[in-house]
Amino acid sequence: MVAMAATTLLTSDQFLAMPEEFDQHGNRIKDELIGGEVVRMAQPSYFHDRIKNRINRLLILYLHANSQLPLDAVVEIGAQVSDYDTFVPDVAIVRTGEQPLSSRIYRGAPEIAIEVVSPTDTAKHLKRKVDAYLEGGAKSVWVVYPEARSVEVYRANQRHNLKENEPITDPLLPGFSSPVAAFFEFA
């Protein structure tokens, strides 16, 4: 259970300056900073990874066919979204050539942030992340719910709830259309 502890809030700079932690197997422990609170990310799961990779693949296929668009699809970049928010979106659409490739951390929100909900994600933190992405300049946030097989799309003044038989489209990706169900199909 996540306690509402009266802990000191960190800034993104403080958070990013912290040493990395490793578990007993030497795997790096991944954290996010959500509203100044350090939140451990869900344990990786095959199910979650497959959905994430599937979405990334659909986007990469689209971007290959539309190479005039200055956009890239990337998995799990660290994005410093605000002074108190540093997230690792499962998939992100970013503008190419805007930030140095050598940088460890992407500054600002991606153009589109895609979060695949894990069983341990709390609704409170997820909502804060969506708000921070939009306030940080993201054009869209796609929240993917594997159990419910649905996607909620957030834009500045719009909210859409898409069921699995509905197509997902995005103004930033002209011509892109994929049934939500395709996110959960594994070829």
Partner 1 sequence: MAATTLLTSDQFLALPEEFDQNSNVVHQELINGEVVTMPHAAKRYDIIRGCILQTLIAYLLQHKEHGLMALPDAEFVVGNSNTFIPDASVISISRLTTDEKYMHGAPELAIEVVSPSESAAFLRMKTEAYLANGSRSVWIVFPEVRSVMIYTPDSVCEFKGDQSITDPLLPAFSSPVAAFFELT
Q: Which long-range contacts (C-beta less than 8 Å, at least 24 apart) are formed by 124-130?
A: 124/2, 125/2, 125/34, 125/39, 128/34, 128/35, 128/85, 129/32, 129/34, 129/85, 129/87, 130/154
Stretch that binds partner 1, among 71-79, 94-102, 124-132, 177-185 (CB under 8 A): 124-132
For residue 96, give every residue at least 6 positions away whose Cβ sits within 8 Å of its Cβ, in sequence order, or none.
70, 71, 72
Rounded CA-CA distance 170/173 in Å is 5
Q: How many residues does the chain have?
A: 187
Exactly one of 98, 127, 174, 185 binds partner 1 (CB under 8 A); which one?
127
Q: Does 2 bind partner 1 (CB under 8 A)?
A: yes
Q: Does 159 bind partner 1 (CB under 8 A)?
A: yes
Q: Does 126 bind partner 1 (CB under 8 A)?
A: yes
Exactly one of 11, 14, 150, 169 binds partner 1 (CB under 8 A); which one?
150
Q: Does 165 bind partner 1 (CB under 8 A)?
A: no
Q: Which two three-digit tokens encode residue 107?
A: 């500054």
- Residues numbered 28 to 87 that lie near partner 1 (CB under 8 A) are 35
Rounded to a whole number of angstroms, the minimum distance from the CB of residue 59 to partner 1 is 23
Exactly one of 119, 137, 167, 174 binds partner 1 (CB under 8 A); which one?
119
Q: What is the contact surface with partner 1 in residues (CB under 8 A)?
A: 1-4, 35, 117-128, 131, 145-148, 150, 152, 159-161
